[in-house]
Structure 1
Amino acid sequence: MKIPLALLVTLIFSVASTVSSLAAGDRYALVIGNAKYPDAEAPLKEPINDARDVAEELKRDGFNVEVGENLTGEAMRRAFERLYGKIKPGSVALIFFSGFGVQSSRQSFMIPVDAQIWTEADVRRDGFSLETVLGEINSRGAGVKIALIDASRRNPFERRFRSFSAGLAPVIAPNGTLVMYSAALSSVISDNGTDRSLFVRELLKEIRTPDLMAEETLNRTRVGVTRASRSEQVPWISSSLAEDFSFIPGSGPKTASPPPPAPAPPVEQATVVPPPPPKQVEIPPPPPPKQVEVPPPPPPKQVEIPAPPPSPPPPAKPAESSPTVLALADDPTIKSLTAKLNDNPDDAAALYRRGQVYASKGAYDLAIKDFNNSLRLNPKDVEAYNNRCWARTVIGDLQAALKDCNEALRLRPNFVDALDSRGLVNLKSGQTKNAIADFDAALKINPRLTSSLYGRGLARKRNGSIAEGDLDIANAKAMDPNIAKEFADYGVQ
């Protein structure tokens, strides 16, 4: 029996509409913007607006979108569980996260607003591993997994355990995954002072371009961010997509005009080429700056500082610039720790943690007082010795600082944080050779420890090795644009 042409056209149109509807209905997105972290000096300006803008665009593109703002750990867990529950075999699942991210054990963790991070182990306890989330999405049968992570920010937690690497780590993702970070691996960027991020602005512009596959959309985003930031911010992409996917439903793999040429990216960046096979394609992490072979680090005990250098370092900030005790008392974290200490004045852990918060907010005298009491209760607390060394160095009490760092290294030889701190003591004291030796030793253990790289650069220049010093400083600034300001706050220029 022949089917009338009109009926055949109707059937074809109906099937096509059903497929299109199914494709749109099988797109799920979880969009999170975390801005109000109690441990930060002020709420982040960008994440909430960026999350709302991304959510609206994804809704227009046929995604079923859930938006979360300022989510606690429990709220993030529930949001991920709801996303997992929606996924069907062949679905598209997308995650957008803007907030603070921390890498630990070569994994990237998204941090909820109520995270209590004092040690590296706390990151794994309170954070959400991107690899774990993508693995769970994959186990539910999602065909396309996309993660857009805008979390390469300098976070408020790093002075609590200085040995971790800045920025985010490469992700080992299942096949069919497309991941993009807003900045290069192990690098951080500064907020641009506006209420929208450069990364999201360029991303939304490219998503709205018709007839682009997702990989090309993100590659164009990378080009746009690189150009707009003059190569100071170069997003990172990893792809193992095994099928064509476009953010705009109905777009096919058509030939599109190539993107304008991007500025030459930094040396550590590699251009992502979308791979045809399903095999995971990964951009390797950027190589560490070339190291000059140096002798082993000096013995833990160094000679006392005989006299200040001919050109004394700038004095510490005047007392009136420090936060007032009243203002600090209203800080939620300090308030919580003070309440614990009111109940138990001999809580050494609470004293140490409050000292860390005081130091991070520039209240060094209060920090040192807490570290003193913490060490009175636990005389072998190597972390407290190191942090007191650093705080004393900042305020210029260099003789006492050197003793603290030496004691930390006696208790834990080759402790990278204490080597870094002692390098700062020697740098401020004018002992440039000792400073270089300490920073060299720290960088052998952690080649991407930005503070040691920048400090070694300053020490090398003061010791007459201008070219080598400039190279260290340039590499440190490429990894952390704020490192010069951080050292200026320490009284070192």
Structure 2
Amino acid sequence: MKKLFLLLIPVLISFSAFSQDTAKDFFTSGNEKFYAADFAGAVKDYDQVLKYEPKHVVTLTNRGVAKDRLQNYRGAIEDFTKAISINPKHAEAWASRGLSKYNLKDYRGAILDFNKAVELNPKMAKAFNNRGLARYGLKDFSGAVADYTKAILLKSNYGEAYYNRGAPKYNLGDKAGACADWTKAKSLGVKDADTYLKNYCK
């Protein structure tokens, strides 16, 4: 009962003049492959960008996201950690590393990274949503509800956060609240919510 979200960063931070055209082409191609779900192809293109610009933080972060989608969580964490070492204020890298740690069931490590992400960008709804997943993994149901609620306050149509909030509410004995959240998630297009509505909200 979880929805995981890592978002690719489409913006292109400037490359040096010497390598700009080639690096930009590979970067654009990598993003296109990522959105086409060709994550292995995206990684290869990002590899090429990093040959020209080894400290390009956005490319390192995007490659990490692609590796995470390929379930290469440790490789992803290496990329995010390198991005953070170059730019410690890059909130996306912190949030993305948190999710890869979550995928490795390192819930406490994930929470520390999400804490840093929201410190750097207090309006990052997905970081609150994903921190809620980690809190749920630690059975901190009240903390999870608080994080999902914050995500929804930041992004009112956040279907996945409504969907995710249903589970800890149910575990806390708030069946009506859980069913209301799953109903809202379904209305926002989260198809998985239907299963929980049928199983728990008869």
- Residue 483 and residue 368 in structure 1: after superposition, are their counterparts in 2 closer, same or farther (change >3 A)? farther
Q: Counterpart of 1:481 in structure 2: which amino acid? A: K
- Residue 119 and residue 344 in structure 1: after superposition, are their counterparts in 2 closer, same or farther (change >3 A)? closer
Kindly provide the CA deviation profile for residues 283-320 of structure 1, in whole angstroms up to 9, marking residues without a partner as x: xxxxxxxxxxxxxxxxxxxxxxxxxxxxxxxxxxxxxx
Deviation, 1:477, is: 3.2
1:480 to 161, 182, 190: 190
User: Counterparts of 1:360 and 1:450 in 2: how far apart (Å)?
Assistant: 21
User: Counterparts of 2:88 and 2:64 in 1: how far apart (Å)?
Assistant: 16
- Residue 345 and residue 484 in structure 1: after superposition, are their counterparts in 2 closer, same or farther (change >3 A)? farther
- Residue 453 and residue 403 in structure 1: after superposition, are their counterparts in 2 closer, same or farther (change >3 A)? same
Q: What is the match of residue 463 of structure 1?
A: 172
Q: What is the match of residue 93 of structure 2?
A: 384
Q: Is the 8 A contact 1:458 1:473 kept in 2?
A: no
1:398 to 107, 110, 117: 107
Q: What is the match of residue 419 of structure 1?
A: 128
User: Counterparts of 2:153 and 2:131 in 1: how far apart (Å)?
Assistant: 15
Kindly provide the CA deviation profile for residues 143-186 of structure 1, in whole angstroms up to 9, marking residues without a partner as x: xxxxxxxxxxxxx65xxxxxxxxxxxxxxxxxxxxxxxxxxxxx
Give RMSD over aligned pairs. Answer: 2.5
Q: What is the match of residue 444 of structure 1?
A: 153
Q: What is the match of residue 216 of structure 1?
A: none
Q: Is the 8 A contact 1:450 1:483 kept in 2?
A: no
User: Counterparts of 2:79 and 2:71 in 1: how far apart (Å)?
Assistant: 14
Q: Is the 8 A contact 2:9 2:62 kept in 1?
A: no
Q: What is the match of residue 22 of structure 2?
A: none
Kindly provide the CA deviation profile for residues 346-399 of structure 1, in whole angstroms up to 9, marking residues without a partner as x: 222211110111122322221111101111111110011111111111220111
Shift >3 Å, 4+ stretches: 117-122, 482-485
Which one has the largest radius of gyration?
1
Q: Counterpart of 2:185 in structure 1: which amino acid? A: A
Same amino acid, percent of matched pairs:
24
Deviation, 1:423, is: 1.0
2:83 to 374, 386, 389: 374
User: Counterparts of 1:366 and 1:477 in 2: how far apart (Å)?
Assistant: 34
User: Counterparts of 1:452 and 1:120 in 2: how far apart (Å)?
Assistant: 23
Q: Under a length normalisation based on structure 1, what TM-score does the superposition of the two structures give?
A: 0.31
User: Counterparts of 2:194 and 2:103 in 1: how far apart (Å)?
Assistant: 15
Q: How does 1:120-131 map to 2 (within 5 A)?
A: none
Kindly indicate whether residue 127 of structure 2 is the aligned counterpart of residue 409 of structure 1: no
Q: Which runs of 5+ in 1 are unaligned?
A: 1-116, 123-155, 158-326, 486-493
Q: Larger relative CO (CA 8 A, sep 6+): 1 or 2?
A: 2
Q: What is the match of residue 50 of structure 2?
A: 341
Q: What is the match of residue 140 of structure 2?
A: 431
User: Counterparts of 1:482 and 1:371 in 2: how far apart (Å)?
Assistant: 30
User: Counterparts of 1:464 and 1:476 in 2: how far apart (Å)?
Assistant: 19
Q: Under a length normalisation based on structure 2, what TM-score does the superposition of the two structures give?
A: 0.73
Q: Counterpart of 1:386 in structure 2: which amino acid? A: A
Q: Is the 8 A contact 1:371 1:384 kept in 2?
A: yes
Question: Relative to total residues, which structure has the larger strand share, 1 or 2?
Answer: 1
Q: How many residues align?
A: 165
Q: Counterpart of 2:145 in structure 1: which amino acid? A: I
Q: Is the 8 A contact 2:182 2:193 kept in 1?
A: no
User: Counterparts of 1:345 and 1:120 in 2: how far apart (Å)?
Assistant: 18
